[in-house]
Each structure stands twice: as C-alpha cells, then as structure tokens.
A = this chain, B = another copy of it.
Amino acid sequence: MTGYRFSLRSDQTAGYEHPPAVRDAIKLSGGSAFGPTMPDVVQAAMTAAGEYRTEVMQYGPLMGLPDLREALAAFERKDGVDCTADNILVTSGAKQAIELICRTFLDEGDLMVVSAPTYVTAIPIFVGAGARFMNIGQDADGMNVPELAEKLAALHRDGMRMPKLIYDIPDHHNPAGLVLSLERRHQMLELARTYNIVIIEDQTYRHIRFEGEALPSIRSLDDGTHVLPVNTLSKLLAPGMRLGWTVAPTALLPRLANFKAEGGTSPFLQRVAVEVLRHGGVEEHLSLVIPELGRHRDAMLAALAKELPEAHVTVPKGGFFLWVSFDGVDADDVYGAGLRHGVVTYPGSICFASEPDRSHLRLSYSQASPEQIEEGIRRLAAAYRDVAFSNRKHVVA
C-alpha cells in the first residue's frame, strides 16, 4: 500500500503514476472538482493582471490582501461568526491553514484528538508537526463526543498531559459523510474550554449541503478563544485557486503566519478571488454545483443499491464522499482489484491516523459524471466479487 500513500496525500492523481492498465480508469478517488461546472474567471483575471498590476506582481501582505480579508470576514459574519478583516489569515489552501495551526500549537509528541476515520491528506501534516493521536470513533451523530469526554476525564484524573488540539470536520465529514449533532457541538466546545484545548473546525464541506438545515458551526457557538475554523475556496469556487483561510484572534495571526514558508499567498490569486467574490461568483457557482453534486450522489447511491447491495453505505447530506463498508471482505483488496477493473477509489484504511480498519472504501462523486459513476460502480462490484470469491473459506472434503 505504501506506493499509493504518496499520491493520495495531496488529492492529486498525477503525483503517482498508476499502472498503464488503469490509465483510463474512472476516478472515484480524490476530492477534485467536476469539469463542466468549473467557473469562468477570465474577466477577474484580466482585471487583476491589468488594473492591479503593481499589486498582484509584487509580494503581498503576509496576512492577505486587505480586500480579500474584508470579503472573507463578510462571508464569515453571514455564517454567524463575529469577526472583522483583522481576524482573517489568508492561506494557500485549507491544508496550509491546518499546518500553520498544528506547527504553532504542537510540540513533538503532543497529543491530538482526531476522529477515526479522518481526513487522509491531513494525517501527514499532523505527523509532520509532531502529533501523537487520540482516535475517537463515530456514530450517526458524528464524532463520539461522550467517548472523548470519558477519555479526557481519565487522562486528567491520572495527571497525564492533555491533548493540545481537536481536529474534526463537523459538516459532511470527509470521509464518513456525517454531520456532528448540535448537542455534540456544544459538548465538544465545553470540553475544549474545560481542558483548554483548541478545536480545528474544518469547514471545507460546510456549504456543500444537498438537504436539511445547516447547524451552527462550532466557531459560531464560541467566543473566539477555543475554535479555529479552516475553510477554502477549493469547494466554494475552484481547487486551482489554492486559497484558504482561518479566523483567529488578531494577536494569534503573526504566530500562525510565522510558519508560512511560501513567502505569502500569491496576491494575484487573491485579487482574482476578490473580483469573483465581489461579483457574486461564489453564490453563482454554488447554485450550479450543489444540485449537480446532489445528482452525482444520487446516481452513486442508486448504482450501489443495484450493483453492490452487499455494501453498507452512509448517506451524506452534503460534501463529496460516500463511506462504504463491507462485512468480512478486505476493502484494501477491493481497492486493488478495482484498479485492475478500471476504477480508482481510496482504501478506507489510509483514512485512519493509527490502527487502520480495512473494511471501508471512500468513494468520491465529485469529479465523475453520473454516467461515469454508474459504470465505475459496475466495475467496483465486479472487483468486489473477485475478492469475495477469492476470500471464501473452501470446505476441504
């Protein structure tokens, strides 16, 4: 499996050369965008390169362009967060925001709480910042916060070092597709306050919602002292923009930004984003992409019900992923067989920070069309049957 680990780390298929046989495989793997709904930013790019030439060709302010910080603060206020531009740190994608927070708060060997499973690409970032893991299970209400409460109480009782960070994706969890219940949001925040732990609230999929009402973000329930949300334009607009952000106390921003080794996020990309935001480009994009992705999800659910009824599936109310579980069949083997049948998925085992569980697959419906999804699931079902057949216990007469 280690050969694949590298390419998976960055949601990018090109980092790993797949074997020739699966070059034309259907990709149900990374969280990439759907080609036909890519936004048109030609006008914004012309304005940025033309009218703002001396700004966008120069080094930019370390915290981000003031106009973009204003626009993102307005976006956050609409989502119930009391903040101003002075609270926004622009980053090169949400992953960089996660890295800056981890490198700021963690020392080598510090404990960090993650769900099991968690966001695969973030795991090496956590490890690179020195984290050890406290893995917490999930149920239909998201991370099992009562379990977390018990574990934290036990550590505290024993005088052990407490975790510094909790990382979760409360809305449309990647990979599990779950939404953390309102009661658990309050409980998690209470635990963070009790034990002085910082919550990294990954809001990447928060606004990609097909049905149901939005729950308040954990950050919006907080006074701004225990929750650092991270967000990105990758899903709100386009991954190629590589623009993310966090909302933090102003005094914390320099400490976070101190780890920005890329010399600041490109002011050119930031100005393009400002132009898009000013002209309602995000709302317009979401109005197209959310129903589109909803159709992709439905196509995948229908195909699984028809072709692979053996799979247990969590039905997500938003986000990009289906979390599929098998009884008594090794999902890593199904992943490998899938490659041979021409369909690329993620083995669920790599989504565990420690103690990998080999009974799941993560399927993405974000990049493939409904037709490709149907064909992909047919191929996956064939791969599953190959593995299930091979795994059968043969009765020796």
Contact = CB atoms under 8 A, between A and B. Distances in A.
Interface of A: 6-7, 9-12, 14-15, 30, 32-33, 35, 38-42, 44-46, 48-50, 53-63, 91-96, 98-99, 103, 108, 121, 124-125, 128, 234, 238-242, 254, 257-269, 272
A17 to B, nearest CB: 11
12 contacts: A10-B260, A10-B264, A12-B59, A12-B263, A33-B58, A38-B53, A60-B240, A92-B92, A95-B262, A121-B263, A125-B261, A240-B266
Nearest to A121: B263
Contact of A128 (B93, B103, B268): B103
Contacts of A14: 60-63
Rank and list the top 10 A-B pairs by shortest CB-CB distance, nearest first. A14-B61, A15-B62, A57-B238, A92-B262, A93-B263, A99-B261, A45-B45, A45-B49, A38-B57, A242-B266
A41 B49 contact: yes
Contact of A15 (B38, B42, B61): B61
When all copies of this chain in the complex are counted, the total is: 2
A258 B92 contact: no
A51 to B, nearest CB: 10
Contacts of A44: 49
B267 A60 contact: no
Contact of A258 (B6, B32, B55, B259): B6
A59 B263 contact: no
Contacts of A94: 263
Contacts of A61: 12, 14-15
Contacts of A32: 58-59
Given A6-B258, A40-B49, A269-B268, A240 B56 contact: yes
A58 B91 CA distance: 18
Contact of A261 (B54, B95, B108): B95
A240 B125 CA distance: 26
A262 B262 contact: yes
A29 to B, nearest CB: 11
B57 A254 contact: no
B6 A254 contact: yes
A395 B60 CA distance: 50
A32 B60 CA distance: 10
A242 B263 CA distance: 7
